[in-house]
Structure 1
């Protein structure tokens, strides 16, 4: 399958199509829903799914687990391989640092209930209650 990218200044496609083609969302309907809910901002403004995205636009994308700030480099309205999808955008340095910090925080976080195996005993429940301030 050959995927054509258009990086000319006048190129445009719907933002939900572009988010799906750039692999921020697994399906186009998930991308449309995220745009509708305001989880995707284009140049710091809420947009509708039918809004055209152009090369040079700054997008803030939150898919629920991760948040990116990317600058659009090229336009595609068909989904291709992940290696080619990564060439559609360039992540900002601040976004890259925030994602690395968040990843490190998740890695170091220890779930309080991880030490317990199976159903908690009465003693374990009391300890959990004390942690919550009860």
Structure 2
């Protein structure tokens, strides 16, 4: 069986899926369609053709990643093979590690409880405040 010649160009959404940057090709196409992926500084549509040497900028959650395309593959293989298709720029690696450190050093989860449902103690304080607060407009009732 003759070997296939190496790919020279490949659709962006297909490459993102094969490189395991997105779980499905539909997710990759949606991200590109929303303008969250650029190729060589230009916003890219899912059908944009990639070639080795292109520089991709994509957002995965809160992290902005810059990747250099090293190879093309139309099939989704194991993770080590997929990781060989690209190289992340040193600036991108540093920014990703800094973002991870900020997330680890982030706010205490208990500090955000003030935004959720009130606790029993909070409800009691609210009830006490409402019971003893009187508006100046109301005044005593005269019946």
The two structures have a TM-score, normalised by structure 2, of 0.73
Larger of the two Rg values belongs to structure: 2
- Any residues of structure 2 matched to 1:44-83 within 5 Å, and which? 44-83=41-80
Could you tell me how far apart the structure 1 residues matched to 2:81 and 2:93 are? 19
Deviation at 1:31, TM superposition (A): 0.1
- Any residues of structure 2 matched to 1:36-115 within 5 Å, and which? 36-109=33-106, 110-111=108-109, 112-113=111-112
Could you tell me how far apart the structure 1 residues matched to 2:88 and 2:48 are? 21
Distance 1:123 1:102, change over 3 A: same
Partner residue of 2:120?
121
The two structures have a TM-score, normalised by structure 1, of 0.78
Could you tell me how far apart the structure 1 residues matched to 2:93 and 2:62 are? 15
| 3-state SS of paired residue (2:56) | strand
The higher-RCO structure (CA 8 Å, 6+ apart) is 1
Deviation at 1:124, TM superposition (A): 8.2
Task: Structure 2: state its 5+ residue gaps.
Answer: 126-143
Task: Structure 1: state its 5+ residue gaps.
Answer: 127-134
Structural RMSD (CA) = 2.7
Deviation at 1:5, TM superposition (A): 9.8
Count the aligned residue pairs. Answer: 118
| 3-state SS of paired residue (1:50) | coil
